[in-house]
Amino acid sequence: MAAINPDPALIQLQGLDLLSSADLSADQTRALLQLAADLKARRLEINLAGKVLGLIFTKASTRTRVSFSVAMTRLGGQTLDLNPQVTQVGRGEPVADTARVLSRYVDALAIRTFAQTELEDYAHWATVPVINALTDLEHPCQALADYLTLQEAFGQVEGLTLAYVGDGNNVAHSLMLCGALLGVHVRIGCPLGFEPDGAVLEQSRALAAAHGGSVAVLHEPVAAVRSAHALYTDVWASMGQEEEKAERERAFAGWCLNEELVAEADPRAIVLHCLPAYRGLEISAGAIEGPSSRIFDQAENRLHAQQALLAALLGGI
Ligand code: CP
Ligand code: NVA
C-alpha cells in the first residue's frame, strides 16, 4: 500500500463544509476524484479511527445513507443515524441548538433535507464539517460520483460533453456546477418551464467560462444529446413533488432517455442515472440495462467519492 502523498488542494479542505458543488475549487474537485480513484483501486489507505459521522436524513435514501455508512466503516470510523424521528429534531428542537450540541459529540454531519437554507443554518451553527447529502437545490456528493464514473470511462473529463435530459433539479444543478469546474460542456435538455434555477445557471456559466467548459439549456431532446459523451437523467418528480407527479408526466412526454436517444449520442457514450429510477418514465428499461449503461458503477462510486470527501474534510489526508 502506497504512502499518502498529500495533495495541498485536499489538505485545504480539512474542517470545511460541502454545501454546494461550488464550495470546491477546480483543483479540489480534481484532487477528490483522484483520491476516490486511488481509494477504489486500493492504492492507499486512510485511517479515520475514532471519528464519527452523524446522519440527519429528513428524506428517504438508500445509496447516500448506506454509502456514507460503509465509507466511514472502511475508513475505520463510524456513523450514527440521527433520524429526525428518533431525535428531538422531529419535535422541533431548533437547528441552532441541535447543531451546537451534536458538534460536541460527532466529527461531521451529513444532512439530507428540503431547504438549502436549513442546511446553511446547520453549517452556521455547527463547529464540525456539514455535508450536503441532498437538498432541493443540490446534490454535490452525487456529482462527484458521476464525474468519477465519466473519468473512468474516458480517462479524463475535461472537454467532454455531458447531456442531462429531464427536470432542471438538484441533481442537474450539481452536475452543472461540478462539470463547469472540471471544464466539461454540460447541456441541460428540458421542457419549457422545467429549466434549472437561474442563479445556479448564472453561477455555473461563470465557472465554466473560467475553466474552459460551457453550460447550455436546450428544449429539444435530440439536440440536447447529439454526439454527447454521457447521457444522464433523473426522476421528473423529486422528493417533495409527489403531488405534481401526474402533471409532470404529461409535461415530460417525449423526454424519456431511451435507446433512440442513446443512438444520437457519441458511439462511446455512457448512460447515467443517479437512481432511484422509474423505468418507462424518465428512462427506458433498455437504456438502464443496455451496453452503454454505467448506472451501477455510478452507484458504487458514491462509496469511493464519499470516502475521499470524508478523508479530506476529517483530516485523514
Ligand atoms: N442517488 C441517491 O442519492 O440515492 P438515494 O436517494 O437512495 O440516497
Ligand atoms: N432529484 C431526486 C434525486 C434523488 C436522489 C430527488 O431529489 O428526489
Place of cell 461531521: 108
Place of cell 492504492: 43
The rounded radius of gyration (Å) of the Cα atoms in the chain is: 19
Going by CA atoms, what residue is nearest to atom 4 of ligand 1?
Answer: 63
Do both 131 and 197 map to the same domain? Answer: no
Does the beta carbon of 298 sit less than 6 angstroms from any atom of ligand 1? no
Do both 146 and 132 map to the same domain? Answer: no
Which ligand lies nearest to the CA atom of residue 300 in the structure? 1
How does residue 4 score in pLDDT terms, banded at 50, 70 and 90? Answer: low
To the nearest whole number, what is the mean pLDDT of the chain?
97
Measure Cα distances from 145 to 32, 56, 88, 254, 295 in Å. Answer: 10, 21, 32, 28, 11
Structure confidence at residue 44 (pLDDT): 87
Name, in order, each residue with C-beta under 8 angstroms of 219's C-beta and a sequence gap of 6 or more: 189, 190, 191, 192
**Residue 59, CA atoms < 13 Å, CB-side half-sphere:** 18
- Tell me which residue range forms the domain holding 273: 142-298
- Ligand 2 centroid from CA 140, angstroms: 12
Do both 306 and 252 map to the same domain? Answer: no
- CA–CA separation, 74 vs 97, rounded Å? 31
Q: Which of 55, 57, 64 to mutate to test the pocket of ligand 1 (most atoms within 8 A of CB)?
A: 64
Do both 290 and 207 map to the same domain? Answer: yes
What is the enclosing helix (H) or strand (E) of 272? strand 270-273
Which ligand lies nearest to the CA atom of residue 272 in the structure? 1
pTM value? 0.98
Catalytic (active site) residue 298: no
Beta-carbon count within 10 A of 12 CB: 16
- Ligand 1 centroid from CA 62, angstroms: 5
Do both 100 and 183 map to the same domain? Answer: no
Q: Look at residue 1 and tell me if it is in a domain.
A: no
- CA–CA separation, 10 vs 8, rounded Å? 5
Per the DSSP assignment, residues forming a β-bridge with 109 are: 54, 130
In CATH, what number is assigned to the domain containing residue 238? 3.40.50.1370
Characterize 121-153 residue by residue with b for buried, 16 or more Cβ atoms within 10 angstroms of its Cβ, and e for exposed.
bbbebbebbbbbbbbbbbbbbbbbbbbbbbbbb
Do both 179 and 92 map to the same domain? Answer: no
Q: Is the pLDDT of residue 113 over 80?
A: yes
Name, in order, each residue with C-beta under 8 angstroms of 61's C-beta and a sequence gap of 6 or more: 112, 133, 134
For residue range 274-306, what is the model confidence (pLDDT) as tens digits?
Answer: 999 999 999 999 999 999 999 999 999 999 999
Q: Look at residue 197 and tell me if it is in a domain.
A: yes
Q: Look at residue 282 and tell me if it is in a domain.
A: yes
Which string of DSSP letters, residue by residue, matches 169-210?
-HHHHHHHHHHHHTT-EEEEE--TT-PPPHHHHHHHHHHHHH
Do both 125 and 192 map to the same domain? Answer: no
Q: Which amino acid is at 110?
A: A
Structure confidence at residue 254 (pLDDT): 97
Q: Look at residue 2 and tell me if it is in a domain.
A: no
Do both 230 and 260 map to the same domain? Answer: yes
For residue range 237-277, what is the model confidence (pLDDT) as tens digits?
Answer: 999 999 999 999 999 999 999 999 999 999 999 999 999 99
The three cell numbers locating residue 240: 417533495
Do both 167 and 288 map to the same domain? Answer: yes
- Ligand 1 centroid from CA 69, angstroms: 13
Q: Look at residue 47 and tell me if it is in a domain.
A: yes
Do both 218 and 121 map to the same domain? Answer: no
Q: Look at residue 3 and tell me if it is in a domain.
A: no
For residue range 135-187, what is the model confidence (pLDDT) as tens digits?
Answer: 999 999 999 999 999 999 999 999 999 999 999 999 999 999 999 999 999 99
Do both 158 and 260 map to the same domain? Answer: yes
Tell me how many degrees the CA angle 227-228-230 measures, rounded to the nearest 5: 145
Do both 122 and 191 map to the same domain? Answer: no
Query: What's the domain count of the chain?
Result: 2
How does residue 212 score in pLDDT terms, banded at 50, 70 and 90? Answer: very high
